[in-house]
Amino acid sequence: MDMKYAPRNLQKMFIVAAILIILGAFNVYSSTYYMNLESGTSPYDHILKHIVVLAVSVGGALILSRFNYRLLRRFDGLLCCLTIVLLILVMVAGRTVNGATRWFMLGPVSLQPSEIAKVTGLIWASSCLAEKVDKHMKITVFARFLRPFIHPASRKKENSIGAMIRYFSPMYMPLIMAFLVIRQPDMGTAGMILMFPALLYILAGMPLFEIIFGMALTVLVFLALAIAAPYRLARLIVLWDPFSYAQDMGYQTVQSLIAVGSGGLLGQGMGEGLSKFLYLPEQYTDFAFAVFSQEYGFIGSCTVVCLYMAFLLYGFSVARKLKDTYAAFLVYGLTLLISVQGFINIAMVIGCFPVTGIPLPFISFGGTSLLVNIGALGLIWGTATQSLKEYDEMERKKRIAAMEGRPLSFGELSGDVYSRRQRWHG
């Protein structure tokens, strides 16, 4: 890896990720060895699979860290179309588990296209939003949506319905992919696919009033979708009072709360937690944090939360250093993808969020989620270091030209991002 252009906070960010990955490996072994013994397989079955996926993921991340991130932008539409094809195929030929069709079986390995959609949707949204920011367009949602209806008689192209539709291009691909994912059905992942591009709108400078109004509208849409499907409504009811449904709908949540609470301050000790003895369903995937909390206690749980918060802050610090708008948006988005999913999973485990199929990044048992999250680390490293290297080289050329007395253009003198990007693409 190119360490010369790796800021200190980027290095710290990767140290945090490495700590989470190591904790995850210990947790996978602890939460699965009894389950494996009970099923008659080797107690090391899941941890060995996890390590294999981890090794493949790290290899893929190393490749992505050297990959020219601008090629991702050039082929963002193709990447999204391939993801959409996978999402359609999984509905036709995928494996159904607990009533949801989300996985392909490739021999002993499963592939979940909806996890890939989170990243490809972010790449698309980052590219489209960066173009608007570099053109100094005002970033708004509701005002832009209402403009054709407020000025219906206007002949200006920017007030037309067509212009309004083109303006929302950052959400086109995420909306299509989210629609396909919600048909699986997987409302939680569909929400994630839409949420991170929406967060990029906020980072791009959306007005505060629109942010508040958008949050309120999101809650209303969420409630409407929940009420429309009985199983989603049941999850909301369980969230309100899980112990009243401890033997049926609320069993998972209640067992999770018992596991977290019984950990106390210091925990029951590594490998000593009792909930993994077939009491807690999905104890090594969606509810991995419950096993971790029981074994490492309140101190260990707070440490994990602080690690995700540190990852978020370091990632934002790195993104702020980037001069290329697209690179900054991509790093912001991928940082949010990992950290926010961590917070949502933890909230679900402690009964503050409905039960969804959102795994805990780096800690839940390996699979497409681990592959995608570690691949995202590779993209963050490559995007940040390449962008900083390009900017440094451009500044060096500018200084050399000034020393030689060669005239510079206004864009070169001002360091204008848009002019710089135009030269790069040219």
The number of folded domains in the chain is 1
- CA dihedral (253, 310, 386, 6) in degrees, to 10, reads -140
Q: In which band, very low, low, confident or very high, does the pLDDT at 361 lie, cut at 50, 70 and 90?
A: very high
Q: Which residue has the higher pLDDT, 19 or 160?
A: 19
Which runs of consecutive H residues, i.e. helices, occur in 168-287?
A: 172-182, 187-203, 208-228, 230-240, 251-262
The answer to whether 152 and 158 are in contact (CB under 8 A) is: no
**Residues 266, 269, 270, 273: is their CA dihedral positive or negative?**
negative
Query: Residue 42: what pLDDT?
Result: 87
**64-85 residue pLDDT tens:** 999 888 898 999 999 999 999 9
If you average pLDDT over every residue of the chain, what do you get? 86
Domain-embedded: residue 353: yes
User: Are residues 308 and 370 in contact, defined by beta-carbon separation less than 8 angstroms?
Assistant: no
Domain span at 240? 8-425
Asked if 114 and 189 touch (Cβ cutoff 8 Å), the reply is yes
In a domain, 163, yes or no: yes
Angle between helices 325-349 and 368-404 (to 10 degrees): 150
- Which range, 97-101, 362-366, 383-387, has the best average confidence (pLDDT)? 383-387
Question: Where on the phi/psi map is residue 194: left (φ > 0), alpha (ψ -120 to 50), or beta?
Answer: alpha
Within a domain: 293: yes
Amino acid symbol at 316: F
Compare 406 and 343 and report the one with higher pLDDT: 343
- Residue 309, both tokens: 């918060």
Report which residue type is found at 33. Answer: Y
pLDDT digits (tens, 9 = 90+) for 301-327: 999 999 999 999 999 999 999 999 999
User: Is residue 69 assigned to a domain?
Assistant: yes
Residue 3 domain-assigned (yes or no): no
Helix (H, G, I), strand (E, B) or coil at 278: coil
DSSP code at position 368? H
Residue 272, SS3 per DSSP: coil
Q: Say if residues 72 and 79 touch (Cβ distance below 8 Å).
A: yes
CA distances from 26 to 14, 149, 295, 343 (A): 19, 57, 11, 20
- 1 found inside a domain: no
State the pLDDT at residue 312: 96
Which residue type occupies 218? T
Task: Please give the pLDDT value at position 248.
Answer: 79
Least confident of 99-108, 234-243, 267-276, 403-412: 403-412
**Residue 247 pLDDT more than 90?**
no
Helix, strand, coil in percent for the chain, rounding step 5: 70, 5, 25
Angle, alpha carbons 166-170-319 (nearest 5°): 140
Q: What is the pLDDT of residue 418?
A: 42
Contact 300, 292 (CB under 8 A): yes
Residue 2 lies in a domain: no
Q: Which residues contact 70 (CB under 8 A, 6 or more apart)?
A: 326, 424
Q: Quick check: is 42 in a domain?
A: yes
Per-residue DSSP letter, 94: P
Tokens of 172: 């086109």
Three-state secondary structure call for residue 251:
helix
Report the percentage of the chain scoring pLDDT > 90.
45
